[in-house]
Amino acid sequence: MKSFVDLDGVSLRYGETEGTLALERVNISIKPGEFAAVVGPSGCGKSSLMKLVTGLLPATSGSIRVAGNAVNGPLKIVGMAFQNPTLLPWRNTLSNTMLPLEIVQPHRSRFRSHKQEYVALAEKLLESVGLAGFGDKQPWMLSGGMQQRTSLCRALIHNPELLMLDEPFAALDAFTREELWTVLQDLWLERKFTCILVTHDLREAAYLADVVFVMSARPGRIVATHRIDLPRPRPLDLTFEPKFVEIVQKIRNEIAHARNEIRSAAPQPQKAI
């Protein structure tokens, strides 16, 4: 099957030739409709990877292809969500959710004339994540988990082919986080978009993803790839079963190994900043 997202020998260096190397010869291939997770120690360039795939940053070398086309500038079909929900405080929940429709074609030009239709669409989406009836609330009236649900809805309202998630649940409490895992899984099973989830939570990665890419510390390289062949939909209880714990342990060991590799390497003179 042809891959949907394809990174071939991608390196990224911030600044000129002297600058920090954030990513080194990264190869990643993600099939259409696949759920991929990228895990690694903090500062390994996971977020840089996201910016590269969406075309917000140009790669220093290597090639990036999304949906068969080389990425040369910001993609126009992507939904994004971050650790911070970044909702607009002057818009209510419904109107925050509909923001992409005011920008992405063809919705953009039909937005005014077909407003009712879009409102219904957004309300349905909010309902599916458990936010029925909260459309007219301002963001600050919502809890952190509800804000993050809204942020997910905003990322998905225009039916993007690619969803990029940068530690979307990192700031939430454990119960809310696990609840949102199931919400995200349900949305993905229903809509089958391609998804790249950047996270440092190994259980989160193993629970949600079809394939987990393990990155080394800076400069980030892919040190291992895991296929998670657990049946869907995965119940939350699965995360306490031995086979699941075993997968998580294995990934954890690889990351620990990647960290030690860096530490045991000869101490290089730090670049003055």
Partner 1 sequence: MTSRRRQLEVAMPWLVIVSLVIVWQLVVELFGIAQFVLPAPTAVFSAFMQYREPIIDHALFTLVNTMSGFAVGILVGVFLGIFIGSSRLVYAGLYPLLVGINSVPKAAVVPILVLWMGIGQPPAIATAFLLSFFPIAVNVSTGLATVEPELEDVLRSLGATKLDILRKVGLPRTMPYFFASLKVAITLAFVGAVISETVASNDGIGYLMIQSASQFRVPLMFAGLMVIAAMGIATYSVFAMIEGRLTGWATRRQDTHFGGG
Binding site for partner 1 (CB under 8 A): 51, 54-56, 74-76, 78-82, 84, 86, 88-90, 99-100, 102-105, 138, 140, 154-155, 158, 164
Name the minimum Å distance from CB 260 to partner 1. Answer: 32
Name the minimum Å distance from CB 51 to partner 1. Answer: 7
Nearer to partner 1, 23 or 81 (CB): 81
Name the minimum Å distance from CB 187 to partner 1. Answer: 18
DSSP letters, 16-75, are: STTS-EEEEEEEEEE-TT-EEEEE-STTSSHHHHHHHHTTSS--SEEEEEETTEE--S--
One-letter amino acid for residue 238 of the chain: L
Name the minimum Å distance from CB 244 to partner 1. Answer: 31
Nearer to partner 1, 44 or 71 (CB): 71
Name the minimum Å distance from CB 138 to partner 1. Answer: 7
**Distance from C-alpha of 193 to C-alpha of 81, rounded to nearest angstrom:** 14
Name the minimum Å distance from CB 80 to partner 1. Answer: 5
**Distance from C-alpha of 131 to C-alpha of 141, rounded to nearest angstrom:** 13
Nearer to partner 1, 152 or 247 (CB): 152
Alpha-carbon distances, residue 137 vs 129, 173, 180, 268 (angstroms): 15, 22, 20, 53
Nearer to partner 1, 78 or 202 (CB): 78
Name the minimum Å distance from CB 145 to partner 1. Answer: 18
Nearer to partner 1, 99 or 224 (CB): 99
Nearer to partner 1, 141 or 236 (CB): 141
The H-or-E segment that residue 142 falls in is none
Nearer to partner 1, 9 or 74 (CB): 74
Alpha-carbon distances, residue 231 vs 107, 132, 198, 235 (angstroms): 36, 29, 22, 10
Alpha helix locations (H) across 41-166? 46-53, 93-97, 107-110, 115-128, 144-156
R_g over Cα of the chain? 19
Please name which of 178, 168, 161, 158 lies closest in space to residue 236, comparing C-alpha atoms: 178
